[in-house]
Chains A and B, each alone.
Chain A
Amino acid sequence: MSRSRGAAALRVADAVPVFAALADATRLSLLGRLSVDGPLSITRLSEGTGVTRQAVTKHLSALGAAGLVRNSWRGRERVWELDRKRLEKAKWCLDQISAQWDAAAERLRAFVEDD
């Protein structure tokens, strides 16, 4: 248990920019759109949202800086999509603690059943 708790702590620092980027309703809804419909252009992303293209651009930059989205050219259009690898890294926390309890429970089993 101790080894993975240590590893988890080391990764907290890495995760902070990700959570800072996620701590915004507009950015989360952009991620939601990209998850369902992506890749999408800024024009498409701002349609029907009440958020200006400029604001969408700014939020995408924040998400991009945290490594959560990336952009590429599709023909003459720049499109944005989720960077799923980075998202997966952000999920360490409870999975890790859960795995630690699995390991601890197995050590407890060995401890009480081997008597």
Chain B
Amino acid sequence: MTIVFWICAPLMVLGGLGLILFRKAVYSALSMALTMVCLAVLYASLDAPFLFAIQIIVYTGAILMLFLFVLMLVGVDTPDSIVETIKGQRILSAIGALGLLGLMIFSIGGAVTGPSAGLAGAEQAAGGNVQGIAQLLFGRYVWVFELTSALLITAAVGAMILAHAQRTKPKLGQREQADARMKAYADQGTHPGSLPNSGVFATSNSIATPALLPDGTIAPDSVSQTLAERGAQLDSTQLRALTAETFERAERIRDEEDEEL
């Protein structure tokens, strides 16, 4: 038990520090997962096998995955600003945290006396850990247990209402989209048909390859806007130069063969 504690405790503190120190929210969530799993192991070592399972299923499995879903939903790339908006906030929070730490550690120092009883006796009396929890849950705490069901229902309904978005604009059908396209053609001369294909070269036919216009310049519409923004666009002129070079070499060899004949 002591060994388990001294393995898990540093990992948990590391996970906690990672949670608040990593700039990227995904790393924070992963260090949180580390802390949660270590916590589950500590529960197991403290004779709480039921809570061990619940911790892994509910916290690591459900809650943290929900966090990751929302992270992906709101965009992983949104950076956290480092600028202090409230002056001296860091220092004040550090002082506050140290005060809290000191207060709690000194209050714990003399609070617990006597040896720990351990749960073995209670488990024997109840016939097991899960049975013991069930006796309390459906006995003394049954009213609280009923209330939690009301809480969960309310939370589920509340989340649905909060996440529901009213449509502010009517949905565009095929007809409206076609009209809008023709209007754009009439007003700004935008081509109403489909966009040009991406370029096809001897060494690459990826969608990141821009097509070339007849005058040799790149057709900007031939590559997805997202790819262009990410900088994933390949250099068509280079690919074209390679093809041209190969053709030139092939032609030179053909000329030489013609001369030999």
A binds B: no
User: Residues of B with Cβ closer than 8 Å to A?
Assistant: none
Residues of chain A having any CB pair with chain B under 8 Å? none
